[in-house]
Structure 1
Amino acid sequence: MQTSVTFKNIDPSDHLKAYVGDKLNRFDRFLDNPAEASVVLSVEKFRHIAEINITGDRLKINGKEETNDMYSAIDMVMDKLEKQIKRSKQKIRDRRGRGGAKVDTAPEGFDYVRPLDDEAEIIVKTLEYKPMDAEEAVMQLDLADDNFIVFTNARTDRINVVYRRNDGHYGLIQPQ
């Protein structure tokens, strides 16, 4: 993470810069893309203020804390920022899982749309499936950016479906 540290009414300290840099580098595991952090450390009478602004790809997070000690102010603002980052990441995950908006026409690769009523519709997709075993179907699913794959099970000669579950594992649907 690219960090710029500014000191106001306090002598610049390499130790404080290194401390802030180490604390901010632990946020790299939460962020997908590189981010920039702007840190302002200031002293007003007896109050030590730490203000941090993190900007990145689709992310802008701000935090400010004031205490009697600069190190504790930095630690407290880092805790605030970590909560904000985790909350924004959870929002992104929730939005992805919710699905998209209603589509009036069939997406590319789909044949046609059959409306059921005003809100629901069936989108029909024609698939070609080939004989393979479940392990190969999982590999094909990983290569394709889909949520499921339809195939003929080479062992049973029946149509099966392998799908990606919400918990990250895979499911297999096979008829009896």
Structure 2
Amino acid sequence: MHTIITSRHFELTDSIKDYIYHLTESLGKYNLDILSVRVVISYQEKKGHKKGEKKKKCLFNIDLTLSLAHANTVVINQNDKDLYAAADLAISRMHKILRRYHDKIHHKQAIPSETIVANQILRDEASAHKGEDEIVPMDLDLHKPLDIEDALERLKSSSQQFFVFNDKDSKMRVIYKRTDGKYGLY
């Protein structure tokens, strides 16, 4: 992970650089192939606009840009009166985003293995009860939308009595062989 820390309108000290660098290193714990982190710290002084108010308002702005391989760039902008508080808030927001992205990726990868295990359990139970009515579990490809014509061709080319599929409108449909030789559709 390549980290770039820059400042605008004030001088960046070594202690601030070390603090920000330490915070950005903690983003690597999600194993998301982070290409680069760019931190731009700017300082603004605003004069009060109310009548009789001469007090200056100091504000630190942190722009945190994180580039991930195979994903969109994440940008966070955080303002605060205290530089360290702004940095902590920006990094905690980035942790939240990366944690959600990490969970989303690993949850998608976990589903197929759980499905395989569940299907194997169903097959084992079905083979254990040979004397009774046998239930044979089927693997369904419900994640691919199909046209009705494509589903009909799949049913014709198989020895199954029915075929379950999602159509282009994301509705679950069933096409089946009727006893009169025609096909029905739910």
User: Out of 86, 106, 120, which is 2:99 matched to?
Assistant: 86
Moved more, 52-61 or 16-25: 52-61
Residue 159 of structure 2 is aligned to residue 117 of structure 1: no
Contact 1:61 1:85 in 2 (8 A): no
TM-score (norm 2): 0.54
- AA aligned opposite 2:90: V
Task: Give the deviation of 1:118 after TM superposition.
Answer: 4.1
Find the counterpart in structure 2 of residue 146 from structure 1. Answer: none
Find the counterpart in structure 1 of residue 42 from structure 2. Answer: 42
Residue 65 of structure 2 is aligned to residue 53 of structure 1: yes
Residue 79 of structure 2 is aligned to residue 66 of structure 1: yes
Listed as ranges, the gaps of 5+ residues in structure 1 are: 105-111, 121-176
**Count of residues in correspondence between the two structures:** 114
Task: Give the deviation of 1:50 after TM superposition.
Answer: 1.0
1:57-103 deviation per Cα after TM superposition (whole angstroms, max 9, x unaligned):
12322211111110110000000000000011122123334558339
- AA aligned opposite 1:48: F
Q: What SS class does the counterpart of residue 165 from structure 2 fall into? A: coil
Find the counterpart in structure 1 of residue 28 from structure 2. Answer: 28
Structure with the larger strand share = 1
Structure with the larger helix share = 2
Q: Partners in 2 of 1:64 and 1:6 — Cα distance? A: 14
Q: Partners in 2 of 1:20 and 1:27 — Cα distance? A: 12
CA pair 114-22 structure 1, distance change in 2 beyond 3 A: farther
- AA aligned opposite 1:117: F
1:120-142 deviation per Cα after TM superposition (whole angstroms, max 9, x unaligned):
8xxxxxxxxxxxxxxxxxxxxxx
Moved more, 53-62 or 1-10: 53-62
CA pair 98-114 structure 1, distance change in 2 beyond 3 A: farther
Contact 2:78 2:89 in 1 (8 A): yes
Contact 2:39 2:65 in 1 (8 A): yes
RMSD: 2.6
- AA aligned opposite 2:91: M
Moved more, 12-21 or 25-34: 25-34
Q: Partners in 1 of 2:86 and 2:158 — Cα distance? A: 57
Q: Partners in 2 of 1:31 and 1:53 — Cα distance? A: 17
TM-score (norm 1): 0.56
CA pair 28-113 structure 1, distance change in 2 beyond 3 A: farther
Q: Partners in 2 of 1:22 and 1:95 — Cα distance? A: 31
